[in-house]
């Protein structure tokens, strides 16, 4: 009897090991999704780290995931599972989009999204005098009614092309911010044409600069200019 029990237990152990080592039949995440976030003002929407995202929720699953936008307004994720997704851009300084679209994502799927920015930064120029940088630009709003209050504006300066909120040198960037706290409709013409000054740049160094305008929406999001490269002579 004891021998029979031992044989049965040994058989059960073999079956358990076999079950644990069975090959996973599910395909890995071999689908990809990429595209552009296009501004109605023209070109891609300039973004920054931690701002605009593409939110995806695979149909049949409850947990959403996000793809962060790159600084040039493009996005890409090459490790997604194939299937249908509800997709929407979110988190950036643009008029909210409330309706998701359904995208069947497979390998190499591409889709562009068009958004209307809160603020458009125009005529952005940078002038270097010695080690002092003057940044001039104009602020415009494609839609004025209902626009969130403009909180502040500031330069962003870094030694790499990744420059913006969360990716800048504080002593050249945050300390030179200017508080506005006004509705766009209440700003004068001179307040919409601005100059920011960044003193004491380091001689012999190359910097990448842009400006941003922050709004009091639920994300405290910012609209950004394009990025300009500045070489400071020795």
**pTM reported for the whole predicted model:** 0.84
Q: Determine the distance from the C-alpha atom of residue 67 to the mean position of all C-alpha atoms in its chain, rounded to a whole number.
A: 8
What is the per-residue pLDDT across 218-230, written as a single tens digit (0 to 9) for each? 999 999 999 999 9
**Could you read off the pLDDT of 140-187 as tens digits, one per residue?**
999 999 999 999 999 999 999 999 998 999 999 999 999 999 999 999
Euclidean distance between CA atoms 176 and 226, whole angstroms? 18
Mean pLDDT of the chain: 90
- For the chain, the structural domain boundaries read 31-115, 120-231
The span from the CA of 222 to the CA of 220, in Å, is 7
Q: Looking at domain 31-115, which CATH architecture does it have?
A: Sandwich (2.60)
pLDDT of residue 3: 47
Two domains, one topology: 31-115 and 120-231:
yes
- Give the pLDDT confidence score for residue 51 in this predicted structure: 83
pLDDT in tens, 17-27: 444 444 455 56
Decide if pLDDT at 13 tops 70: no
Please determine, for residue 50, whether its predicted confidence score (pLDDT) is greater than 80. no
Query: Averaged over 50-65, what is the pLDDT?
Result: 91
Whole-number pLDDT of residue 4: 42
Residue 224: which residues within 8 A CB-CB, separation 6 or more?
Answer: 46, 47, 48, 121, 156, 164, 210, 211, 212
Mean pLDDT value across residues 101-124: 97
Distance CA 212, CA 41 (A): 16
Q: Which class is 120-231 in CATH?
A: mainly beta
CA distance 215 to 38: 20
What pLDDT, in 10s, does the model give residues 188-203? 999 999 999 999 999 9
């Amino acid at each position: 009897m004891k021998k029979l029990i031992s044989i049965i237990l040994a058989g059960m152990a073999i079956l358990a090991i076999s079950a644990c080592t069975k090959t996973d039949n599910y395909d890995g995440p071999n689908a990809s999704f990429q595209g552009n976030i296009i501004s109605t003002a023209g070109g891609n929407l300039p973004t920054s780290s931690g701002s605009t995202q593409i939110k995806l929720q695979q149909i049949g699953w409850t947990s959403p995931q996000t793809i962060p936008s790159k600084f040039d307004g493009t996005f890409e994720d090459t490790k997604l599972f194939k299937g249908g997704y509800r997709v929407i851009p979110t988190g950036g300084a643009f008029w909210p989009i409330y309706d998701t679209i359904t995208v069947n994502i497979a390998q190499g799927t591409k889709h562009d999204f068009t958004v209307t920015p809160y603020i458009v930064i125009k005529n952005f120029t940078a002038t270097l005098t010695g080690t002092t940088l003057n940044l001039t630009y104009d602020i415009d709003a494609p839609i004025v009614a209902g626009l969130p209050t403009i909180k502040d504006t500031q330069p962003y300066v870094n030694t790499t092309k990744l420059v913006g909120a969360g990716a800048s040198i504080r002593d050249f960037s945050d300390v030179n911010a200017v508080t506005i706290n006004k509705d766009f409709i209440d700003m004068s013409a001179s307040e919409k044409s601005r100059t920011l000054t960044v003193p004491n740049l380091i001689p012999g160094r190359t910097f990448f600069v842009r400006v941003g305008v922050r709004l009091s929406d639920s994300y405290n999001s910012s609209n950004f200019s394009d990025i300009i490269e500045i070489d400071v002579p020795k």
